[in-house]
Amino acid sequence: MTTLLEEQDFQHISIKREGRVVWATIDAPPVHIMTVGLYADLRSLASATQAAADGTSVLVLQSADPEFFIAHFDVEVLLAASPEGPVQRRSELNAFHHMCEQFRTMPVVTIAKVAGRVGGGGAELAASFDMRFGAHDATIVNQMEVPLGILPGGTGTQRLHRLVGRGRAMEIVLGASDLDARTAEAWGWLNRSLPADELDGFVDELARRIGRFPPHAVRAAKASVLAAGPDPIDGLLEETYLFDQTMREPATKVAMQRFLDAGGQTRTGELDMERLTGDM
């Protein structure tokens, strides 16, 4: 199956597809700075993935360099900028925010496989993904903006406190210190920190597992989680609406029957649920 994703002419990203799972691999030596070129590729990746959502359930963003995921946005570009006049409040998202929101809200599960260092705008991009996985003694997270006289302006100040809490977000942003993988996992920035030689296998199998499930259910489940808010009532109403939609899908009855045929609701099957649902 060829989609708009495979047809894109990326400069710093290569695409591999396996069924409903797509791996996008960044290759931007020497240290994976988010240059204008890489930024343009990431924006195109977001738009193309969203456009290919009918044939894609999972996008895994990873790096060809085990020491760097994305270091940060190109400081030389920021230094060369010469904004003039008084600051005006915007009524719409800027382009970087819009890109991050595309990855966060698209009807495709987004996973960041952060094998090495990630910082600045790269960390903000990864924080916008549905899941993040890292490697012991290799993954490092750093928001390095405040020492440069700016702040994490690519969603960082808004994402971090939701992931790690207000106090820890303040430490990450204001301290601008390295956050190691085990701490990032304990704080909630990473879903899991794994031994480096297990990272690929774990993330790729998780992606393939999700990719085998009914696509309409994956899309609806992500949308329902995104609908959660401070007041649970609106989210619960949206959850009911999306659940009712899935119950009307013909593929749902097929999946439920497969579950029963595979041993669901038997003692043996219920004691081995992860394998049972993965094999359906």
Across residues 103-120, what is the average pLDDT? 97
Q: How far is CA 19 from CA 14, 42, 119, 247, in A?
A: 17, 22, 31, 24
Q: What is the mean pLDDT of the chain?
A: 93
Residue 3 clears pLDDT 80, i.e. is over it? no
Lowest-confidence range among 95-109, 193-207, 247-261?
A: 247-261
* CB 169 within 8 Å of CB 131: no
Query: Percentages helix, strand, coil for the chain, rounded to the nearest 5?
Result: 50, 15, 30
Radius of gyration (Cα) for the chain, nearest Å?
A: 20
Calpha distance 75→95 (Å, rounded): 17
Q: What is the number of residues in the chain?
A: 280
Q: Which are the contacts of 61, defined by CB distance < 8 A and separation ≥ 6?
A: 24, 26, 45, 110, 111, 112, 113, 126, 129
- Contact between 236 and 221 (Cβ < 8 Å): no
* 141-179 pLDDT tens trace: 999 999 998 999 999 999 999 999 999 999 999 999 999
Is residue 1 very low, low, confident or very high in pLDDT (cuts 50, 70, 90)?
A: low
- Predicted confidence at residue 103, as pLDDT, reads 98
DSSP code per residue over 10-36:
-SSEEEEEETTEEEEEE--TTT--B-H
pLDDT of residue 229: 84
The label of the residue with tokens 């309409």 reads 216
Predicted TM-score of the model (pTM): 0.90
% pLDDT > 90, the chain:
72
Is the pLDDT reported for residue 181 higher than 80?
yes
Mean pLDDT of 234-256: 87
Tell me the two tokens of residue 128.
């916008």
Mean pLDDT for the stretch of residues 44-72: 96
Instruction: Please give the average per-residue pLDDT across 72-92, as a whole number.
Output: 87
> Can you tell me the mean pLDDT for 233-262?
87
Residue 117: its H or E element? strand 117-119
- Residue 71: predicted pLDDT: 92
Which of the listed ranges 159-173, 229-243, 244-258, 266-280 does the model predict with the highest average pLDDT? Answer: 159-173
Instruction: Examine the pLDDT at 194 and tell me if it is beyond 90.
Output: yes
- Order of all β-strands in the sheet with 117-119: 68-70, 117-119, 140-142, 179-180
- Give the architecture (CATH level 2) of 4-211: Alpha-Beta Complex (3.90)
Instruction: Please tell me which residue, 247 or 217, carries the higher pLDDT value.
Output: 217
Of the given ranges (129-143, 170-184, 252-266), which has the lowest mean pLDDT? 252-266
- Span 46-67, average pLDDT: 96
250-263 residues labelled b (16+ CB within 10 A) or e (exposed)? eeeeebeeebeeeb
Number of neighbouring beta carbons within 10 Å of residue 231: 8
Predicted local distance difference test score (pLDDT) of residue 230: 82
Distance CA 98, CA 154 (A): 10
On the question of pLDDT at 28 being above 70, the answer is: yes
Asked, as a colleague might, if the bond just before 232 is cis with ω within 30 of 0, I would say no
